[in-house]
Amino acid sequence: MIVSDLAPPELHRRLRSDGLRLSSGPFNCRIQTRISEIIPELIRLYAHHPVIPDDAFVDFHIAIETGRGLHRWFRPQARFLVDGVEPFTPLPRAQALPMIEWGLNWCITAYSQHVLILHAAALVRGERAIIMPAPPGSGKSTLCAALANRGWRLLSDELTIIRLDTGQIEGLARPVNLKNKSIDVISDFAPDAFLTAPVRDTTKGTVALMAPPADSVRQLGQAAWPRWVVFPRYVAGSRAAWAPLQTGAAFLQIADNAMNYHVLGKKGFAAVSALVDRCDHFGFEYGDLDEAIGCFDRLAGEA
> Are residues 157 and 75 part of one domain?
no
> Are residues 142 and 180 part of one domain?
yes
> Are residues 267 and 219 part of one domain?
yes
Q: How many domains does the chain have?
A: 2
Q: Which of 111, 139, 169 is the last residue before a domain boundary?
A: 111
Q: Which of 111, 135, 159 is the last residue before a domain boundary?
A: 111
> Are residues 150 and 100 part of one domain?
no
pTM: 0.95
- Rounded CA-CA distance 223/205 in Å is 33
> Are residues 240 and 156 part of one domain?
yes
Look at residue 302 in the predicted model and tell me its pLDDT. Answer: 65
Q: Which of 67, 96, 111 is the last residue before a domain boundary?
A: 111
User: Which domain range does residue 195 map to?
Assistant: 115-302
> Are residues 146 and 38 part of one domain?
no
Strand partners, 169: 162, 224
- Rounded CA-CA distance 183/273 in Å is 36
> Are residues 146 and 107 part of one domain?
no
> Are residues 172 and 150 part of one domain?
yes
Strand partners, 255: none
Q: What is the pLDDT of residues 105-117, one digit of tens each?
A: 999 999 999 999 9
Look at residue 135 in the predicted model and tell me its pLDDT. Answer: 83
What are the backbone dihedrals phi and psi of residue 138, each rounded to the nearest 5 degrees, phi first?
-85, -15
Look at residue 127 in the predicted model and tell me its pLDDT. Answer: 87
- Rounded CA-CA distance 94/233 in Å is 30
Look at residue 73 in the predicted model and tell me its pLDDT. Answer: 79
> Are residues 86 and 67 part of one domain?
yes
> Are residues 129 and 97 part of one domain?
no
> Are residues 170 and 247 part of one domain?
yes
Look at residue 193 in the predicted model and tell me its pLDDT. Answer: 97
> Are residues 153 and 99 part of one domain?
no
Residue ranges in the chain modelled with pLDDT below 50: 303
